Amino acid sequence: MLRSRLRSARLLAVLAVLSLVVLAAAFVAFGTPGASSGAPIGDDAGDTYEAIDGVDATRTTVLQRGGDIQRTVASVQLRPGSSHRRVEVLETTDRRHEVLVENDSTVWMYDRDASKVTRFSVSGPVVGPTFGDRVERLFERLNVTAADDSATVDGVSPLPVVPQSAAGPTATTDAAGLRLSFEGTASVDGREAYVLELSAPGSESDTFQQTLWVDTQRFFALQRQTSWTADSQRMTVTTTYENVTFDPGLDEGTFTFDPPENATVETLETPERTAYASAEQLRAATNISVPDPDVPASLRLTAATQTTGEVDGVGLRYVNDTASVSVAKYDRTFPPRGDREVTVAGQDAAVSFGSTTSVSWNCGEYRYTVRGSGVSVEALLAVAESVGCE
């Protein structure tokens, strides 16, 4: 029985690795310094984001779910626009790994209590639009030129709710989009920040709301608060960066991890992955039936992959400028567990909230997972139903 449980835990960890392969990481948002010359604020946020060499800060993440509050304080070092990050937990109410270190090739997770290090390989640097690019688009919509301006626009797609490794679901994206407002400036840990608010048009207190406090000089997201309602429970995620130092001179050693001598090190096998230019080519190359999901029209297919090894499966990834949805199917099954019980295609399923939101269920010998960022739980459930038990 113990051996069976250990094997199940190992397989779940392998599936987690596969999820990291399918979905790119998301980090904090940046923009351009505010100017008084009449140029729009944030008009080259993407370039400013890319120019920041590194960030050193203390990050506090608070998840409030009804009357339950989870709080995590961590020392973080990261390179914006890359997968490079180091997170060392200082205080927490709910955390398994106290140290997480990642670079372009390897991820280490260290559990001090168990004196165990889990290590696995990743496929390479993150590519695609950065958060700086996305924040620049928000300011393009606002078209404000001074800190005391005011502006409100409708039909805006949301940013993902929380930075990678924090807890919480994703923002809602529907045909109408969100209302974006520029609310001037405020102070966060002694630094001046522009305030941006996103909400559903005509929203009441129980609908989606998000506020960003963006540093006026470097457009780093000093604070982010997101609230939504799930299963009649109000949830709020607040992430705050304090003691922020930009360009602190981080070296490559910051993003590697030397396990303690007394620690047990487990190296997970990374399945071999083959990418294809289309779902049709993937179907021709594999004996596993490939799902044909019904995804929102704005999303385009960017990856069709086959994995072989300890776990065999297929995956599809769809993205637009602010959202992503992936569909994965693997030849392993586990009881569906998560934060919310649902039904998909007549099968028991579970919704799990994290840096992304996922829906998982089993059909026969296969496990299915639909995972999304920047889309609502309802949209993910619709995608899951369209996949069913293919």
Whether the pLDDT of residue 18 is over 50: the answer is no
The helix/strand/coil state of 323 is coil
Which pLDDT tens digit goes with each residue over 292-308? 999 988 788 988 999 88
Q: Which residue has the tokens 């960890």?
A: 13
Give the Cα separation of 63 and 225 in Å (integer). 10
CA gap 66, 76 in Å, rounded: 28
**252 Rama class: left (phi>0) / alpha (psi -120 to 50) / beta:** alpha
Examine the pLDDT at 11 and tell me if it is beyond 70.
no
Q: Is 224 exposed, middle or buried, given 0-12, 13-18 or 19+ CB atoms closer than 10 A?
A: buried
* Superfamily for the 271-387 domain: MucB/RseB, C-terminal domain (3.30.200.100)
pLDDT at residue 193 above 60?
Answer: yes
Three-class SS of residue 2?
helix
Q: How large a percentage of the chain has pLDDT more than 90?
A: 33
User: Among the listed ranges 36-45, 132-141, 152-161, 162-171, which one has the minimum average pLDDT value?
Assistant: 162-171
b/e map 348-375, b = 16+ CB within 10 Å: ebbbbbbbbbbbbbbbeebbbbbbbbbb
Q: 23-71 pLDDT, tens per residue?
A: 333 333 333 333 445 789 888 877 888 888 999 999 998 888 778 888 8
Which of the two residues, 21 and 97, has the higher pLDDT score?
A: 97
| CATH 3.30.200.100 boundaries in the chain | 271-387
Which residue is it, tokens 């961590």?
74
CATH 2.50.20 residue ranges for the chain: 45-246
CA–CA separation, 89 and 91 (whole Å):
6
Q: What is the pTM of this model?
A: 0.67
Q: Which helix (H) or strand (E) holds 48?
A: helix 45-51
Average pLDDT over all residues of the chain: 79
The tens digit of pLDDT for each residue in 255-288 reads: 999 999 999 998 877 667 788 889 999 999 999 9
Residue among 365, 369, 187, 388 at smallest CA distance from 288:
365
Which CATH number does 45-246 carry?
Answer: 2.50.20
